[in-house]
Amino acid sequence: MSEASTRTLLVRFARSLFERGYSVGSAGNISVAVEDGLLITPTNSCLGFLDEARISKLDREGRHISGDAPSKEVFLHRAFYETRPGTGAVVHLHSTYATALSCLPELDPQDGIAPLTPYVVMRVGKVPVLPYVRPGDPAMGDMIRQLQGACAAVLLANHGPVVSGKDLSSTVYAAEELEETAKLLFLLRDRQPRLLTPAQVEELGRAFAKP
Ligand code: 13P
C-alpha cells in the first residue's frame, strides 16, 4: 500500500475509534509502518480530527523527519516493532473498560484479560500488565522489550491498553476486541462466568494463527 493510502486509512480508523468512544480528547496514539519508517499520530492530537499531511513521520532510526511532533509514546510503539517481526501497526488507547481493568491491583500480571471468549484469545492472546510509569517514559519501551516479543498486547497499569498487529485494520479490530472483553468482564464481575479451559485455549491456538 502506498504511503498516501496508508495516511488516508490511518485518519479514517482513528476517526472511527474516536467517534465510537474508544478514545476521548487527545488520548491515544496510533502508528503504522511504511516502507522507509513509521507514521505516528502527533502528540496532543485528537484521533477524531487528524490531518493526513501533519501526521508525524520517523525514519527507520526513529528520527522525526516530517509532520508535527510525534506522540510522546513513540518509545512504546517502537519497542513492539523492534521485538515482534512482522508488526505493521500499534494502537494505544485509553478506552474506558480496558483502562478501568488496568487500575485493578488483583490483575494477573502475566495475563490481565481472562479467556472469556474465543475471539479475545484468537485476536489478542495473552495480555501482560506492565507496572505504572508516567506517559512518555522511555522505561515503557524497555518493559515491552523485556517481553521479547512474546505478546502482541499489554495493559499499562492505571493507563490503558496497547495492541500491535500485522496491519492497521487487524490491530484496530484487536484493540476493539480487547476493550469489549474488558467490558464483559465488568458486566460479569458479580457472577462467576465460565472461562475457556486451557485445552480450549490451546485448541484455538492450533486452529487459528495468533496476531
Ligand atoms: P500523545 O498525545 O503524546 O500521543 O499522548 C497521548 C497518550 O495517550 C498518552 O498515553
Amino acid code (one letter) for 147? L
- Taking the CA of residue 41 as reference, the ligand 1 atom at the shortest distance is 4
Instruction: Report pLDDT for 209.
Output: 67
Give residue 149's pLDDT band: very low, low, confident or very high (50, 70, 90): very high
Which of the four pLDDT bands, split at 50, 70 and 90, describes residue 143? very high
Nearest CA to ligand 1 atom 8: 28
Identify the burial level of 150 via C-beta atoms within 10 angstroms of its C-beta, where 0-12 means exposed, 13-18 middle and 19 or more buried.
exposed
135 lines ligand 1 (CB under 6 A): yes
* Per-residue model confidence (pLDDT) at position 66: 98
Q: What is the pLDDT of the chain when averaged over all its residues?
A: 96
In this prediction, residue 210 carries a pLDDT of: 52
Other residues' Cβ atoms within 10 Å of the Cβ of residue 162? 28
Task: Give nearest CA residue, ligand 1 atom 9.
Answer: 135
Q: Are 107 and 100 in contact (CB under 8 A)?
A: no
Instruction: Enumerate helices (H) and strands (E) in the chain, giving the number of each.
Output: 7, 8
Are residues 102 and 160 in contact, defined by beta-carbon separation less than 8 angstroms?
A: yes
pTM confidence score = 0.96
22, 73, 177, 179: the catalytic one is 73
Rounded to the nearest angstrom, the distance between the alpha carbon of 47 and the centre of ligand 1 is 10
- Contact by Cβ (8 Å): 117, 184: yes
> What percent of the chain is predicted at pLDDT more than 90?
98
73 lines ligand 1 (CB under 6 A): yes
72: CA distance to ligand 1 center in Å? 6
- pLDDT tens sequence across 3-43: 999 999 999 999 999 999 999 999 999 999 999 999 999 99
Long-range contacts of 125-130, Cβ-Cβ distance < 8 Å, separation of 24 or more: 125/151, 125/152, 125/153, 125/210, 125/211, 126/150, 126/151, 127/151, 127/153, 127/154, 127/155, 127/161, 127/178, 128/154, 128/155, 129/102, 129/154, 129/155, 129/157, 130/154, 130/155, 130/156, 130/157
Å from CA of 137 to ligand 1 middle: 11
> In this predicted structure, what is the pLDDT of residue 169?
98
Amino acid identity of 210? K
